[in-house]
Amino acid sequence: MPRQPDKFDKRDRRVEDALIADDKRIREEKARLAALEKAKKKQKPPDDRNIVRSEQAKWCEDEKQVNWFHDNPNEDGLMRPYLQWRYCLKQLGVSGTDIIAVPWPNDVNNERAYPLLNCERHGHDIWMHQAQPNVTPQLPSTVTPGHLNFMYSKMARTLKSNLLIVRQKSVRWCVELLCVPDNRARCIAAGLLPILAGMIPETDLYIRQQLALCFKYFSAAITTWNDLVELGCIRGLIEMLRTDDVVLRCNALDALNDCALSCEVRDSIVEDGTTLPFVVQGLAKDTDPGNVCFAMDLCSKCMGSLNYCQKAIDQVLAAGGVPIVLKLAKTVYQPTMVSCGRFICLIGFEEKGRKQAVSLGAVAVFVPYIDHVEARIMAYGTAALLSLTLEIKGKKDFIIANGVPLMTAMIHLTDGELSFLAMNLIINVTEDPAARRKVQHGIGICRKLILETFNGTLKKCARQTIQELQFTSRAYQNLRDVR
């Protein structure tokens, strides 16, 4: 018969049960602590390519863990638009090949088609095994709507809207986009220039004002210069000049001034035959200093063009441009002074224009320019005097206006260009013996300049100046060696 448990056995069993329960509690506590320790060590999420960067967990313990997604150049922010588009397709239940965009569409209303710029596209000779890490990772397809937005194709549609307010806002938006070089290239690629050129017959004043600014910013791209002429944009800007609205005329002059950097545009303006005379005659009536500067700069660019220099100068002289500009040159407004100096310098290249300017007293007008506090006004005044003092009467007028003592003060090492212009002016003026006697101290200044400057052009010009000043009677009668 088995032994019956007594009270001592029951006590031992209670002790054993208590020990087992205590061990279980200890194990559970250790498991809980281990789980807490494991939770503190944050692990990287699984590498799911269809998850957008913004959908992934963000760990903020240290910078290395935060930026782990950027360690691989193929998975950094450059591919983010593609990842977003693929994630969107996954949610829609379609694949990436179901939506394909035409890279160069014929229909401007095709929002799914958007052309990449040349700088964004790989060349045809870059193969996969030749691609370097710094090459932008690209998709097999040329373009999808996920890469960029629909702004430019939408602009092409809204510019053709029947609502006036929509067209006004769209043209203003084009001005804002064209101010930025990258956006300007995208606007050109999206074909906005022909659409804007077709809006020239618009009668709304606000649209015409903004159109002029659009053409101004389009001219900053060399690829549009021919198109601006062929699409009639320059002809439209010329028509805008003949309006009574001050803002529209100012915008049109500003746009033509910027477009005149192109020889095609200058050719069309000069060949027109009526634009330059109209601009010159408007100088006498216009009271806005900005319009005056734009008009004179436009004439200067056309006169300085190699192809139509003589024809443009003849048109300006026939319209009476020289007396108008000399009257404007007596101002204290610095941009107008700069434009006047440039205008007289260029028109002085032609003998008839130079003689007319000298006979009207242009030398006395520009002598105070070389004693101005602004270096650019001194430079343009000196350039104008360089053209005017080619005439014998111009040299005598320069001496009478007491400009001889002012020439040597401009020769200084701190401004090489101004020194170069001043020495050329000395060479021009000191062909007259009366001026040569007054500038003999310039020999020492030029010798000091030769010793101190490192510019070879300045050294050569200083030697020529010394040689000119060492003549005792008429120029080039008795040459001496310059030491």
Which residue type, as a one-letter code, is found at position 289? P
The closest of 242, 245, 240, 326 to 284, measured between CA atoms, is 326
Final residue belonging to a domain, choices 377, 402, 427: 402
Final residue belonging to a domain, choices 202, 224, 259: 259
Separation between Cα atoms, residue 225 and residue 208, nearest integer Å: 20
Contact 418, 412 (CB under 8 A): yes
Q: Are residues 392 and 473 in the same domain?
A: no
Contact 87, 93 (CB under 8 A): no
Q: How confident is the model at residue 173 (pLDDT cuts 50, 70, 90)?
A: confident
* Statement: residue 136 has pLDDT above 60: no
Q: How confident is the model at residue 82 (pLDDT cuts 50, 70, 90)?
A: low
* Statement: residue 48 has pLDDT above 70: no
- Whether the model clears a pTM of 0.75, i.e. scores above it, the answer is no
Q: How many folded domains does the chain comprise? A: 3
Q: How far is CA 171 from the centre of its chain?
A: 20
Q: In Å, what is the CA distance from 78 to each residue of 53, 83, 152?
A: 12, 10, 21
Q: Are residues 396 and 453 in the same domain?
A: no
pLDDT of the residue at 114: 46
Q: Mean pLDDT, to the nearest integer, of 195-220?
A: 92
Dihedral angle, C-alpha 263, 264, 265, 270, nearest 10 °: 80
* Statement: residue 268 has pLDDT above 80: yes
Which residue type, as a one-letter code, is found at position 437? R
Which of 45-59, 293-307, 364-378 shows the lowest per-residue confidence on average (mean pLDDT)?
A: 45-59
Place of tokens 């000069």: 270
In a domain, 112, yes or no: no
Q: Are residues 194 and 243 in the same domain?
A: yes
In a domain, 228, yes or no: yes
Separation between Cα atoms, residue 445 and residue 481, nearest integer Å: 18
Separation between Cα atoms, residue 441 and residue 438, nearest integer Å: 8
Which residue type, as a one-letter code, is found at position 366? F
In a domain, 4, yes or no: no
Q: Mean pLDDT, to the nearest integer, of 161-168?
A: 90
Place of tokens 């500009």: 325
Q: Mean pLDDT, to the nearest integer, of 127-153?
A: 50
pLDDT of the residue at 338: 93
In a domain, 319, yes or no: yes
Which of 122-136, 230-244, 362-376 shows the lowest per-residue confidence on average (mean pLDDT)?
A: 122-136
Q: Are residues 199 and 159 in the same domain?
A: yes
pLDDT: is 176 or 308 the higher one?
176
DSSP assignments along 216-236, one per residue: HHHTTSGGGHHHHHHTTHHHH
Q: Mean pLDDT, to the nearest integer, of 187-213?
A: 91
Contact 347, 316 (CB under 8 A): yes
In a domain, 7, yes or no: no
Which of 80-84, 277-281, 450-454 shows the lowest per-residue confidence on average (mean pLDDT)?
A: 80-84
Q: Are residues 243 and 315 in the same domain?
A: no
Q: Mean pLDDT, to the nearest integer, of 149-163?
A: 79
pLDDT: is 199 or 49 the higher one?
199
pLDDT of the residue at 135: 52
Contact 255, 219 (CB under 8 A): yes
The structure tokens listed for 207 are: 């649209």
Q: Are residues 183 and 234 in the same domain?
A: yes
Portion of the chain with pLDDT greater than 90, in percent: 19
Q: How confident is the model at residue 7 (pLDDT cuts 50, 70, 90)?
A: low
Q: How confident is the model at residue 105 (pLDDT cuts 50, 70, 90)?
A: very low
Q: Are residues 278 and 187 in the same domain?
A: no
pLDDT of the residue at 357: 92
* Statement: residue 447 has pLDDT above 80: yes
Q: How many CB atoms lie within 10 A of CB 153?
A: 23
pLDDT tens profile 357-412: 999 999 999 999 988 888 889 999 999 998 999 888 888 888 888 888 888 777 77
Which of 103-112, 243-252, 462-471 shows the lowest per-residue confidence on average (mean pLDDT)?
A: 103-112
The structure tokens listed for 218 are: 């389009």
* Statement: residue 184 has pLDDT above 70: yes
DSSP assignments along 314-369, one per residue: HHHHHTTHHHHHHHHTT---HHHHHHHHHHHHHHTTSHHHHHHHHHTTHHHHHGGG
pLDDT of the residue at 106: 46
The structure tokens listed for 45 are: 């999420």
Q: Are residues 330 and 390 in the same domain?
A: yes
Q: Mean pLDDT, to the nearest integer, of 6-12?
A: 69
Separation between Cα atoms, residue 2 and residue 9, nearest integer Å: 14
Could you tell me the sign of the dihedral formed by the alpha carbons of 221, 291, 361, 352, in that order? positive
Write out the residue range of the structural domain in which residue 277 sits. 265-402
pLDDT of the residue at 127: 46
The structure tokens listed for 429 are: 């003026």
* Statement: residue 217 has pLDDT above 80: yes
Contact 411, 449 (CB under 8 A): yes
Q: How confident is the model at residue 90 (pLDDT cuts 50, 70, 90)?
A: low
**Mean pLDDT computed over every residue of the chain:** 77
Q: Are residues 250 and 273 in the same domain?
A: no
pLDDT of the residue at 40: 75
CATH number for position 166:
1.25.10.10
Q: Are residues 342 and 364 in the same domain?
A: yes
Contact 375, 384 (CB under 8 A): no
Q: Are residues 284 and 332 in the same domain?
A: yes
pLDDT tens profile 314-360: 889 998 889 999 999 988 889 999 999 999 999 888 888 889 999 99
In a domain, 22, yes or no: no
Separation between Cα atoms, residue 24 and residue 15, nearest integer Å: 14
pLDDT of the residue at 190: 82
Q: Are residues 387 and 300 in the same domain?
A: yes
Q: What is the DSSP letter of 368?
A: G
pLDDT: is 192 or 149 the higher one?
192
The structure tokens listed for 480 are: 């001496």
Final residue belonging to a domain, choices 225, 259, 293: 259
Contact 431, 464 (CB under 8 A): no
The closest of 262, 170, 173, 263 to 220, measured between CA atoms, is 262
* Statement: residue 313 has pLDDT above 50: yes
Separation between Cα atoms, residue 210 and residue 10, nearest integer Å: 102
Q: How confident is the model at residue 19 (pLDDT cuts 50, 70, 90)?
A: confident
In a domain, 6, yes or no: no
* Statement: residue 35 has pLDDT above 80: yes
In a domain, 54, yes or no: no
Which of 311-320, 421-430, 472-481 shows the lowest per-residue confidence on average (mean pLDDT)?
A: 472-481
Planar angle of CA 400, 401, 404, nearest 5 degrees: 85
Separation between Cα atoms, residue 133 and residue 121, nearest integer Å: 15
* Statement: residue 87 has pLDDT above 50: yes
Contacts of 424 (CB under 8 A, 6+ apart): 386, 461
